Structure 1
Amino acid sequence: MNGGQKINVCKDCGKRFSSSSHLKRHMRSHSGEKPHPCEHCGKRFSEKSYLKNHIQIHTGEKPFACEYCDKRFASNSYLKIHIRSHTGEHLYACNHCGKGFSMSSGLKKHIRNHTGEKPYPCKLCGKRFSLKTGVNRHIKIHTGEKPHECKDCGKRFAEKCHLKKHSQTHTGEKPYACKYCGRCFFTKDVLKAHVRIHTGEKPFDCDYCKASFSGYSSLKKHIRMHTGEKPYKCNSCGKCFADSGSLNGHIRIHTSEKPYPCKDCGKQFLLNSDLNIHIRTHTGEKPYACMHCNRRFAANANLKSHIRTHTGEKPYSCEHCGKCFSGSSYLKTHIRTHTGEKPYDCKYCEAKFSDKSALRRHIRIHSGEKPYECIYCGKCFPVSKSLREHIRIHTGEKPYSCTHCNERFAANTNLKVHMRTHTGEKPYSCEHCGKCFSRSSDLKIHIRTHTGEKPYACKYCEAKFSNNSALKRHIQIHSGEKNV
């Protein structure tokens, strides 16, 4: 006997053991040796006790029953851990933050959040992980292995938990309900993150800035903004992404797959999150309230962008010119003014656009759709901004004032044009002769003097004009002959 001393030392990691048998078992964690095979499926185990527990999966034997509920377990250790979910007992506490855990393995994993330890490297690319399950999942990115198949639609998944979550899209099952609002969720983790919307808890802090997050996955995505890491690459075009969700959504642009249909109107979506936001257009639900003005929003992202109108925060800066924006989507659209990228094509003509909303507005020129109606006079408009500016004709509201002469305007664009009368700025130049203009509309009219284009035709005679005002003056000639 060694009197309880740990004289058996592991030559690989230095860990000490009180008996040579314990050391021998431990060495298998380094060597990967698994001498105990399952006679049913061939799966191998490093410990005989692990094999014994595994065999009960095949036999279905669960001899250990919970005294609080009807749940049964294959091993007594699993039962003990389960009972703690009823008693709330947390035997293992973190020395760094005091958080309690029902299992020692849970505490070990948690401590790595504080120490930053990542003991599990990927053999293919060297990337390291804090959990063994993390490296196992990651390796499937390299191998493309997806062993779990959905029996309803044939779709395959790398992880069993992802298949389970996907299966609920067929069954509609949402077993986890929020005690604050009654909303139901597919998984317990998503429910936990949702509850923090009500409690305001944001336990995950960024080490680079002062930002806090309600979910660890949100923190990981945010940190990649600082590091610039984009580990998820599209096999079709090579574009890289900071998170797998963005990559999956992007891939559907190539495949044209829209797997999430709305049950109310049939509209289909690339992402489940987009479907959830869309459903609120039917229900009218707006769960996200602004603490500054009580305005409510259907999507949390819209609330965040709105709050910046109060705080003035513009965290997204352009690397080309330094201009700052309140939302990442605004920055993306702006960057295209530098790169010239116009990824959105009109299916009716050859026009291309740098953002989706501009394409939607353009398509209404072809369709004639004008969905925004004035409540005062019934006039309809193709875009909501035009309606808002029009309504100010009725209300007399002029919220935009000039800092030079105090003249006020109903539209911000009109103010910008007016300001150029003070500054003398003429940002629009003619590519034919170099003449400059303060308004893009004046440049368009001027260019027609070079091209000879006359798109405005008189309905009374064959005369044509390069601008609408010239046509109106001409029509007055006919006003004595026709009742205009």
Structure 2
Amino acid sequence: MRVRRIGKVTAKKPFSCKECKKSFRDAFHLNKHMRSHTGEKPFSCKDCKKSFNQIPHLKTHMRIHTGEKPFSCKECKKTFRHVSSVNAVKTHMRTHTGDKPFSCIECGKCFCFNSLLKTHMRTHTGEKPFCCKECDKCFRHVSHLKAHMRTHTGEKPFPCTKCKKTFNQTSSLKSHMRTHTSEKPFSCKHCDKCFRSVFSVKTHMRTHTGDKPFSCIECEKSFCFNYLLKTHMRTHTGDKPFCCKECDKSFRHVSHLKAHMRTHTGEKPFSCKECDTRFRFLSGLKSHTRNYTGEKILPFPCKECNKCFRHVSHLKAHMLTHTGEKLFSCPKCKKKINQTSHLKIHTRTHTREKPFSCQECEKNF
């Protein structure tokens, strides 16, 4: 006679695990559980030889090779691979419903997924748990670490379909693609100047805020942009990485090299609108146009001694004689000097170079 059981009945579990005391209804489930302690993985994938401790896990893994995704979202038809993705489908539905059940206790910001909340919390705690083994730089997101690692490996897996140039990040590729489309979707609220990337807008904003986060460790001069600091540092190190192939003359700035090259090519890109006289350098054109505008031949006066200069760069160099500031240091003896021309003369005491000779007695100086 069949006995009808009323209410909730807890089945007996006579098979218990000696490691963790967890109980099971039969020996089959106990043996399957024991693999979590022994580490045994008897079920192997034929395609990649990866092993698993349960057949269902192997079946789920096989979908990586077959491409099968049997669980789908009814709203957007997005598909999912795993049996556990039944829950993933429910979680995914929040992107459609707008449900954000996970809120930050610090700022009240809400998120669709708990994983996004955990990642967000690092902006408050400052935690950066993902560290690069090459340079010890740390990141809040594992995706940021993966992208950073490409700076070490040189990997650039994202190619431009227009010019075949490759990039190490999708964001860099997207920004680059706008050079082909001329799209500049990000605009500055202060001057309406437009940019290809959000990063460019943030960097540009320093020209309005006056923020100068990059400081020189030698003279504490500050700059808006890191590339300006790097260029400035060459005034201290004496580094001149841009060399002319024609005469081996070196320059601190690539723009100076380009201007110098005109002395070899004879190019004169700057022309006077009044008389069509052409000049190699913009400074030459400006000096020439003062003949027509009536502007002072020496338009840049020193406020300390009223001495006047033709170029603002000459005025800046002159001002150092008043401030006593010495921005240039000798790479050999670290002596501080206030002008590059004086630094050149000083370095000859180390090199013993004497480039000037007397025409009468041929003595060198």
Partner in structure 2 of residue 89 of structure 1: 68
1: CA distance, partners of 2:284 / 2:197:
24
Question: What secondary structure sits across from 1:98 in the alignment?
Answer: coil
Question: What secondary structure sits across from 2:217 in the alignment?
Answer: coil
Contact preservation (8 Å) 1:373, 1:387: yes
Flag the 1:392–1:336 CA change in 2: closer, same or farther, 3 A. same
* Cα distance per residue 1:130-155 (max 9 Å; x no partner): 334555x359x47xxxxxxxxxxxxx
1: CA distance, partners of 2:80 / 2:226:
48
2: CA distance, partners of 1:424 / 1:320:
35
After superposition, where does 1:10-21 map in structure 2 within 5 Å?
none
Partner in structure 2 of residue 389 of structure 1: 259
Structure 2 residue identity aligned to 1:353:
F
Structure 2 residue identity aligned to 1:440:
V
| Shift of residue 95, structure 1, vs aligned partner | 2.6
The count of aligned residue pairs is: 305
Contact preservation (8 Å) 2:279, 2:285: no
* Cα distance per residue 1:49-97 (max 9 Å; x no partner): x999766422446576667775554445434423434444332233333
2: CA distance, partners of 1:84 / 1:379:
63
Contact preservation (8 Å) 1:93, 1:99: yes
Higher relative contact order (CA 8 A, sep 6+): 2
Flag the 1:69–1:306 CA change in 2: closer, same or farther, 3 A. closer
2: CA distance, partners of 1:290 / 1:415:
41
Flag the 1:309–1:126 CA change in 2: closer, same or farther, 3 A. closer
1:110 and 2:75 matched: no
Aligned-residue identity in percent = 40
1:78 and 2:57 matched: yes
Structure 2 residue identity aligned to 1:346:
C
Contact preservation (8 Å) 1:428, 1:438: yes
* Cα distance per residue 1:394-450 (max 9 Å; x no partner): 234456778898776666x6599689979999998977799999963365478699x
1: CA distance, partners of 2:185 / 2:289:
28
1:99 and 2:81 matched: no
* Cα distance per residue 1:90-135 (max 9 Å; x no partner): 3223333333323333433333333333344456765444334555
Q: TM-score, normalised by structure 1?
A: 0.45
Choose the corresponding residue for 1:361, options 222, 227, 231.
Answer: 231
1: CA distance, partners of 2:273 / 2:214:
38
Partner in structure 2 of residue 130 of structure 1: 112
1: CA distance, partners of 2:19 / 2:300:
78
Partner in structure 2 of residue 276 of structure 1: 150
| Shift of residue 339, structure 1, vs aligned partner | 3.2
1: CA distance, partners of 2:105 / 2:315:
61
Structure 2 residue identity aligned to 1:93:
S
Q: TM-score, normalised by structure 2?
A: 0.56
Question: What secondary structure sits across from 2:99 in the alignment?
Answer: coil
Choose the corresponding residue for 1:374, options 244, 251, 255.
Answer: 244
1: CA distance, partners of 2:149 / 2:199:
19
Structure 1 residue identity aligned to 2:313:
S
2: CA distance, partners of 1:67 / 1:355:
54
* Cα distance per residue 1:441-483 (max 9 Å; x no partner): 365478699x599x9xxxxxxxxxx9x9xxxxxxxxxx99999
After superposition, where does 1:174-253 map in structure 2 within 5 Å?
232-233=123-124
| Shift of residue 369, structure 1, vs aligned partner | 1.5
2: CA distance, partners of 1:61 / 1:41:
17
Partner in structure 1 of residue 209 of structure 2: 339
| Shift of residue 313, structure 1, vs aligned partner | 3.7
After superposition, where does 1:290-369 map in structure 2 within 5 Å?
294=163, 296=165, 308-328=178-198, 330-369=200-239
Question: What secondary structure sits across from 1:90 in the alignment?
Answer: coil
1: CA distance, partners of 2:216 / 2:267:
36
Flag the 1:405–1:124 CA change in 2: closer, same or farther, 3 A. same
Question: What secondary structure sits across from 2:205 in the alignment?
Answer: helix
Flag the 1:392–1:447 CA change in 2: closer, same or farther, 3 A. same
Contact preservation (8 Å) 1:344, 1:356: yes
Structure 2 residue identity aligned to 1:118:
K
CA RMSD of aligned residues (A): 5.7
| Shift of residue 374, structure 1, vs aligned partner | 1.0
